[in-house]
């Protein structure tokens, strides 16, 4: 089982310029709120609360680090169409560069004094990789807007008689002899 971590001290790797390491770690990703509903990032293999991640760390010439974070997790929560439990798989491949003193665009917000906030980076990368619509399946038909029946179970024969147009209501009162 990979080592569990929240913050990771990059200095303990003692990398020289041009040297790199691949680390297998596990991180707990905080739940997120999408459309007012709570969603959780969970490992694909159920049984652990932490998501296994692969962290590649390379020491750059002239100081600083090049970082790569890869993992796969399930986004669990209600389907945005039918409200049943959804669990789509999300693949994350994120990169960061930290070169202190080289300008704002080369300073990672996740690295502070050679300490990597792995949990914050994993959560942000997970949110960016997550689908914009969380569905239980790609072809989810959702709920009927009139009676709230699950259209996945009701099938294509589910219909409602169309309500009369209210703009023509006065004409129904007209009596012709």
Residue 95 placed within a domain = yes
CA angle 114, 119, 124 (to 5 degrees): 105
Whole-structure pTM value = 0.81
Residue 9 placed within a domain = yes
Range of the domain at 89: 3-138
Residue 130 placed within a domain = yes
Residue 105 placed within a domain = yes
DSSP classification of residue 142 = -
Residue 14 placed within a domain = yes
Residue 172 placed within a domain = no
Q: How many domains does the chain have?
A: 1
pLDDT tens for residues 103-158? 888 889 999 988 999 999 999 999 999 998 999 999 999 999 888 899 989 877 88
């Amino acid at each position: 089982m990979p080592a569990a971590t929240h913050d990771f001290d990059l200095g303990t790797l003692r990398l020289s310029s041009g040297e790199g390491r691949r680390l297998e770690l596990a991180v707990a990703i905080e739940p997120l709120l999408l459309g007012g509903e709570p969603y959780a990032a969970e490992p694909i293999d159920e049984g652990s609360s932490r998501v296994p991640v692969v962290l590649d760390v390379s020491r750059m010439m002239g100081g600083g680090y090049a970082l790569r974070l890869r993992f796969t997790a399930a986004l669990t929560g209600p389907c945005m169409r039918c409200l049943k439990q959804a669990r789509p798989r999300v693949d994350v491949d994120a990169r960061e560069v930290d070169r202190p003193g080289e300008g704002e665009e080369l300073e990672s917000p996740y690295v502070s004094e050679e300490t990597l906030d792995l949990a914050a980076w994993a959560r942000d990368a997970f949110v960016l990789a997550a689908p914009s619509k969380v569905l239980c399946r790609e072809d989810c038909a959702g709920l009927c807007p009139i009676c709230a029946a699950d259209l996945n179970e009701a099938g294509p024969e589910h219909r409602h008689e169309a309500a009369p147009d209210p703009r023509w209501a006065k004409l129904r009162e007209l009596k012709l002899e």
